[in-house]
Structure 1
Amino acid sequence: MPKRNPYHAGPVTDHFDGLRFRNVENEPETDRSLGDVLRWRRAAPNTPWPRALEVSPVVPETRVAGLRVTMVGHATVLIQVAGLNILTDPVWSPRASPLAFAGPKRVTAPGVTLDALPPIDAILLSHNHYDHLDIATLRALHARHDPLIVTPLGNDVIVKRHIPAARTIARDWGEHAEVAPGAQAHVVPALHWSSRGVRDRRMALWGGFMLRVAGRQVYFAGDTGYGTGAIFRAIYARFGAPDLALLPIGAYDPRWFMAAQHTDPDDAIQIMADLDARAAIGIHWGTFKLTDEPRDDPALRLAAGLAARGIDPARFVALQPAESFTLD
């Protein structure tokens, strides 16, 4: 067993024991055993995804005065707000994997090519899983834009091992970083876990972000389960209602294995309600096949869940790559 954390050396807290981080107290356990994984794979249904779906990439405006988000794919979203350009969990690689020849392969090409991106001011990096922290993409973005990378504790070390000149700021839950004058990225809890290999589980912190810019608030959940809902009610109590929430709606089946770590569409609708978010965007679906549900199931279930609650479907949209959402 490892006796030293390779990413973070800091004081013991209510969610760090000196070696590993853990989720908020009284929330479901996210650790899974090898036996659990084998049980899942033995019973996995045959739900093939398309090999590829056509995407016509768009060219975003250089700057946007208001608030607009453009879906690149999976958890990668371009947020344009008050003249700032911010990316979430950027992945342009063909696979979400440490290997170039194996692992989940893209079904949808990025909705914006790397060359068509506007100047990127900052990146919000939620955790270190390969479908969220992609070194090849971060290298390309660093070379083109030299963006500030804001991330929970420990992930900065991973980035700088590969990109020594990268500008990184690591923060704990409850802390924030200035991404530009008058613009703050607050790191908030998520119910998830982390690892880049077999021996570093939960040694770097995971989280979401509340981005506050020019009187606007955008919540990016990263990867999270719903749990008791307490973390979302606490976010609302601290920040009030966000103008826009970027909420994961995919990678949720089977529920016995995934519920503690990944929300499904019904959970995401409840998060929107807990936050009293003005609008929401469904992310983390339809690009990489990570779990058992069919490719279009998250969008269909989201639409059904909104209808069952009598919520205007325009308030919570499952964006496809290259689609945008503008909030007046």
Structure 2
Amino acid sequence: MKIKKLRSMGVYILSFIFLSLIISFIIGCKSSKNVYSGEVSNHYNGKKFVNTNGNKENGLKEVFKFLRTRKPGVWTKDYETYSRDTLIENNDTDNIKLIFVNHSTFLIQLDSLNILTDPIWSDRCSPVQWFGPKRNRPPGVTFQSLPNIDLVLISHNHYDHLDKNTILELQKEHEPQFIVPLGVSHFFKRLGIDNVIEIDWNEEVEFKSIKIKGTPAVHFSSRGAFDKDKTLWCGYLIEGSKKIYFAGDTGYDEHIFKKIGNKNPNIDVSIIPIGAYKPNWFMSSIHTNPSEAVQIHLDLKTKNSVATHFGTFALADEGQGEAGKDLKIALLKNKITTDRFIIPDEGVFYEF
């Protein structure tokens, strides 16, 4: 009886892997049809984008080791399920207002403009909604509660940062201006969306009363099997009456973040990722751990920081709440108070 169960389990696992490969192959073919081509730079070699510090995403050998040795922490479904469901008004103050939706999605209100970062309201960060990483908590703001969205910033094309369903709904209801890294506009054009601007590292564009500058990051890109690093990844500096830095999704690099801080002094608020960092040997090339997030805060010389990229999707091996605990330990070690580097509650206003 046990042998039959083991065989059935083996068949299930092989079927699951086979199905995953088929899905990856199909999506990879579609994603690779239109890729970026442009001038060679220190982060584009003529064929693909690269990290300036030489960091690369893990190969199959490391991926199989990760899957074989995983020790994932515990997550609880639907914990802290508060969702703001009343219409959010425009910000008529001179302050920055931030609302953490969850994962890497923030509503930023600056100079009467409403800005979203990496919006995802779907149940799964996946090419399909019946398979892939599922939410452990609902969005902290319902989609219907959003004010009119003027601008959407996309850091890169991974499914937890560029969600097709949400993009289509935003276009239908708000028709915002989308700003994306090099190569990512092809995704929007295939959806029939033309109100999109591509941006390179250190390139600046103006939108109404503010300036948006693309900033370097340490990561990678792909939506399928054959489009790896064919589009760029970046962070953003938002400058109006005040200055906001959104790091996107990134590993740590001292040179990059000190340079951003030196070239852009007096940042009022920095939004810095703290999650998806365990095991460190596997994740450190693409994600910052909480200790490194604190170092980014120091490198930038930012007045305030807010944590992001945690608490929603179990994308690595740290357990629920572990990122926040480790961040508090790192803050204490560096004698930084928790009101200078906030772990935000979802659906709650923070003013700076």
Note the C-alpha offset of 1:111. 0.9
C-alpha distance in 2 between matches for 1:160 and 1:242: 33
C-alpha distance in 2 between matches for 1:64 and 1:287: 30
Note the C-alpha offset of 1:270. 0.5
The runs of 5 or more residues in structure 2 that have no matched partner are 1-28
Q: Choose which of 273, 277, 286 in structure 2 pairs with 1:261.
A: 286
2:150 matches 1:121: yes
Would the aligned equivalents of 1:5 and 1:203 in 2 still touch at CA under 8 Å?
no
Name the amino acid aligned to 1:220.
Answer: F
Would the aligned equivalents of 2:306 and 2:343 in 1 still touch at CA under 8 Å?
yes
Would the aligned equivalents of 2:236 and 2:247 in 1 still touch at CA under 8 Å?
yes
Aligned residue for 1:140?
169
2:45 matches 1:17: yes
1:290-305 matched pairs, under 5 angstroms: 290-305=315-330
C-alpha distance in 1 between matches for 2:348 and 2:235: 23
Aligned residue for 2:13?
none
Name the amino acid aligned to 1:154.
Answer: G
Relative to the length of structure 2, the TM-score reads 0.88
Q: C-alpha offsets along residues 189-242 of structure 1, whole Å, 9 cap, x if unaligned? A: 00000000011000000000000012x110000000003x11111111211131
Note the C-alpha offset of 1:148. 0.3
Q: C-alpha offsets along residues 294-313 of structure 1, whole Å, 9 cap, x if unaligned? A: 11011111111111111111
Would the aligned equivalents of 2:91 and 2:97 in 1 still touch at CA under 8 Å?
no
Aligned residue for 1:319?
344
Name the amino acid aligned to 1:174.
Answer: N
Aligned residue for 2:226?
199
Would the aligned equivalents of 2:110 and 2:240 in 1 still touch at CA under 8 Å?
yes
Structure 1 residues 64, 110: closer, same or farther in 2, change over 3 A? farther
Give the root-mean-square deviation of aligned CA atoms: 1.6
Note the C-alpha offset of 1:28. 4.5
Relative to the length of structure 1, the TM-score reads 0.94
Aligned residue for 1:68?
97
2:190 matches 1:190: no
Aligned residue for 1:224?
250
Note the C-alpha offset of 1:160. 1.8
Structure 1 residues 293, 28: closer, same or farther in 2, change over 3 A? farther
Would the aligned equivalents of 1:128 and 1:155 in 2 still touch at CA under 8 Å?
yes
Percent of aligned positions with the same letter in both sequences? 37
The number of residue pairs the alignment matches comes to: 320
Aligned residue for 2:202?
174
Aligned residue for 1:210?
237
The runs of 5 or more residues in structure 1 that have no matched partner are none
C-alpha distance in 2 between matches for 1:19 and 1:211: 30
Point out the structure with max Rg over C-alpha. Answer: 2
Note the C-alpha offset of 1:318. 1.2
Note the C-alpha offset of 1:31. 2.2
What secondary structure sits across from 2:339 in the alignment?
helix
C-alpha distance in 2 between matches for 1:158 and 1:87: 18
Note the C-alpha offset of 1:54. 3.4
Aligned residue for 1:51?
77
Structure 1 residues 46, 86: closer, same or farther in 2, change over 3 A? closer
Q: C-alpha offsets along residues 111-133 of structure 1, whole Å, 9 cap, x if unaligned? A: 11111001100001000000000
What secondary structure sits across from 1:226 in the alignment?
coil
Note the C-alpha offset of 1:324. 2.6
Q: C-alpha offsets along residues 59-92 of structure 1, whole Å, 9 cap, x if unaligned? A: 4322342201000010000001111100000000
1:238-257 matched pairs, under 5 angstroms: 238-257=263-282
Would the aligned equivalents of 1:57 and 1:110 in 2 still touch at CA under 8 Å?
yes
What secondary structure sits across from 1:314 in the alignment?
coil
Would the aligned equivalents of 1:55 and 1:322 in 2 still touch at CA under 8 Å?
no
